[in-house]
Amino acid sequence: MPESVVDPVDTVTEVPVAVVGAGPAGLMLAHRLGRAGVAAVAVDLRTREEIATTHRAGILEADAARDLVETGVSDRILREGHEHEGTELRFGGRAHRIDFRALVGASVWLYPQTEVFTDLADARERDGGTVHFGVRDTEVLDAATDRPRVRFTAADGTRHELRARYVVGADGSRSTCRGLVPEALRTRYGTEYPFAWFGVLVRAPASAPELVYAHSEHGFALISQRTESVQRMYFQCGPDERTEDWPDERIWETLQARVAGADGFRLAEGPVLERSVLRFRSFVQEPMRWGSLLLAGDAAHTVPPTGARGLNLALHDVKVLAGVLLRALGGEGEAALADYQPLALRRIWRAQHFSSWMTRLLHTAPGATPFELRRQLGELDSVVATRAGRAYLAEQYTGWPTAA
Ligand code: PHB
């Protein structure tokens, strides 16, 4: 019996690349391919509104910021983003600035992921790219063959099938695509952390001109910004912490204690607009390709947010992947795909190391001994006290050149 009788679809679309996941990685990939004249259709289980209002990290490497502008996504980042030429580490109650510009001639941009997503979704719409948000029952079929398909139910209830040459799984940290790689062929590397971040959006003026990463005996805190009147802050909490146990006063008391010091630094307070607990882990799945399926971004690897690497890594993956797919579709064939993993993976493992190092450097493990706390202060001191230490942090945090 022909399959269409078993599970009829309302439309069948032939498209070179089908992308599962329409977050920043999936949309940037579709955008890059579209610019080169190769169509890509993206689908996502979440509605556009859901993605646009899920608060995520906020730091873009200068190269990623420039790519948004130069590939024609949008130049809004130049007007509404903030270029940061350094960051602050606080420990032992004192501030230590890491001057990215002076140390490694680099900078980063504070521009929230939600804005990157909005720019990309707008650009897809402007350029006539197809994106189906709010779909259900997504299924990738025949990924091992050279005629992979993606089936899904659109938000209006109609059934669709994409017949592609390649399928990209850019479906985030809870990826279902990565599970398609047979267990016997894949390896998953990872580690868990005994803490999470409590993230808040607050209505208050900025407390500092740049990000503040604070180590204290009470745990880690990160002070970030959003707009003149809205700020983003995080503090280390237990992985099972519940937001309902955290009234505004308790949040402020916790944050103030973690940044307090002899210099009298205090955060400007205001009402808490949103609160959430963010669990994280370090994770990589290899290989990043199986047959006609390629994994990109969080679907293939996740990092703790401490090093601000996640979004940057995802954007780097799709930059490399777009080049490889264009070569494959442009006549080189499948052989070109062999370049994807080695080019992406080197940066992925560097970012895994840096993210995990920053996390361990700044967080207080539950039950940490006085020795461990002092050892951490020794490590922090050795980072800030020498030019080599500061330059190491600056170099990792601001990113590495694109793999060619
Ligand atoms: C943020 O602004 O949300 C942010 C910035 C830096 C990080 C993580 C989150 O490392």
Query: What does the DSSP assignment read for 6-48?
Result: HS--SEEEEEEEEEE--SHHHHHHHHHHHHTT--EEEE-SS-H
CB 277 within 8 A of CB 196: yes
pLDDT at residue 30, rounded to an integer: 98
Q: Which of 88, 200, 207, 211 to mutate to test the pocket of ligand 1 (most atoms within 8 A of CB)?
A: 211
Nearest CA to 302 among 396, 171, 206?
A: 171
Q: Provide the 10 A C-beta neighbour count for residue 65.
A: 24
Q: Distance between CA 82 and CA 402 in Å, rounded?
A: 22
| Ligand 1, atom nearest to 55 Cα | 3
Q: What pLDDT, on the 0 to 100 scale, is given for residue 336?
A: 97
CA 283 to chain centre: 13
Assign residue 219 a region: left if phi > 0, alpha if psi is -120 to 50, beta otherwise? left
- pLDDT (tens, 9 = 90+) of the chain, 404 residues, equals 454 456 789 999 999 999 999 999 999 999 999 999 999 999 999 999 999 999 888 999 999 999 999 999 999 999 999 999 999 999 999 999 999 999 999 999 999 999 999 999 999 999 999 999 999 999 999 999 999 999 999 999 999 999 999 999 999 999 999 999 999 999 999 999 999 999 999 999 999 999 999 999 999 999 999 999 999 999 999 999 999 999 999 999 999 999 999 999 999 999 999 999 999 999 999 999 999 999 999 999 999 999 999 999 999 999 999 999 999 999 999 999 999 999 999 999 999 999 999 999 999 999 999 999 999 999 999 999 999 999 999 999 999 877 76
Pocket test for ligand 1, best of 54, 59, 311 (most atoms within 8 A of CB): 59
Q: Ligand 1 centre and the CA of 113: distance in Å?
A: 10
Q: Is the preceding omega at residue 287 within 30 degrees of 0, hence cis?
A: yes
Query: According to DSSP H, which parts of 82-172 are helical?
Result: 100-104, 113-126
Q: Which atom of ligand 1 is nearest to the CA of 358?
A: 10
Query: Smallest Cα–Cα separation from 306: which of 221, 229, 244, 232?
Result: 221
Q: Which residue's alpha carbon is at the smallest distance from atom 6 of ligand 1?
A: 308
Ligand 1 pocket residues where CB is under 6 Å: 57-59, 211, 222, 224, 232, 305-306, 308
Beta bridge partners of 286: 187
Distances (CA, A) of 157 to 23, 29, 227, 231: 22, 27, 39, 39
* Candidate of 89, 232, 356, 393 to mutate for ligand 1, largest count of ligand atoms within 8 Å of Cβ: 232
Q: What's the CA-to-centroid distance between 16 and ligand 1, angstroms?
A: 35
80 contact partners, CB below 8 Å, separation of at least 6: 111, 115
- Report the distance separating Cα 347 and Cα 360, nearest Å: 20
- Buried b / exposed e over 109-140, threshold 16 CB at 10 Å, is bbbbbbbbbbbbbebbeeeebbbbbbbeebeb
- Whole-number Å distance, alpha carbon 342 to ligand 1 midpoint, is 28
Q: In angstroms, what is the span from residue 285 Cα to ligand 1's centroid?
A: 24
Q: Beta 196-203 vs 230-237: how paired, if at all?
A: antiparallel
* Distance between Cα 199 and ligand 1 center (Å): 10
Q: Are 82 and 138 in contact (CB under 8 A)?
A: no
Contact at 8 Å (CB) between 77 and 31?
A: no
Do residues 368 and 312 touch, judged by C-beta distance below 8 A? Answer: no
Q: What is the DSSP string of 203-249?
A: ES--S-SS-EEE--TT--EEEEE-SSSEEEEEEEE-TT--GGG--HH
Q: Whose CA is nearest to atom 7 of ligand 1?
A: 308
Instruction: Report which protein residue has its CA nearest ligand 1's atom 2.
Output: 58
Closest ligand 1 atom to Cα of 306: 10
**Residue nearest ligand 1's atom 10 by CA:** 308
Q: Tell me the CA–centroid distance for residue 162 and ligand 1, in Å.
A: 36
Which residue CA neighbors atom 9 of ligand 1 most closely?
57
pLDDT at res. 57: 87
What pLDDT is recorded for position 404? Answer: 63
What pLDDT, on a 0 to 100 scale, did the predictor assign at position 5? Answer: 53
- The runs of H, that is alpha helices, within 289-339 are 310-327
Nearest one of 236, 370, 345 to 294, comparing CA atoms: 345
Rg (CA), the chain: 22
Asked if residue 164 lies in contact with residue 15, where contact means CB atoms within 8 angstroms, the answer is: yes
Please report, for the chain, the start and end positions of each structural domain, with discontinuous segments joined by +.
3-59+112-190+281-359
Q: Which of 86, 353, 384, 394 is nearest to 215 (CA)?
A: 384
Mutate-to-test residue for ligand 1 from 200, 213, 234, 303, highest number of ligand atoms within 8 A of CB: 234
Pairing between β-strand 289-290 and β-strand 86-91 as defined by DSSP bridges? unpaired
What pLDDT, on the 0 to 100 scale, is given for residue 375? Answer: 97
**199 CA: nearest ligand 1 atom:** 3
Residue nearest to atom 3 of ligand 1 (CA): 57
> Of 355, 154, 137, 183, nearest to 286 (Cα)?
183
Which class is 3-59+112-190+281-359 in CATH?
A: alpha beta
How far is the centre of ligand 1, averaged over its atoms, from the C-alpha of 128 (Å)? 32
- How many CB atoms are closer than 10 A to CB 46? 16
Of the candidates 213, 186, 367, the residue with the CA atom closest to the CA atom of residue 283: 186
Q: Any idea what the Cα angle at residue 66 is, between residues 209 and 124, rounded to 5°?
A: 110
Q: Residue 295 Cα, ligand 1 centroid: separation in angstroms?
A: 24
Q: How far is the CA of 222 from the centre of ligand 1 (A)?
A: 8
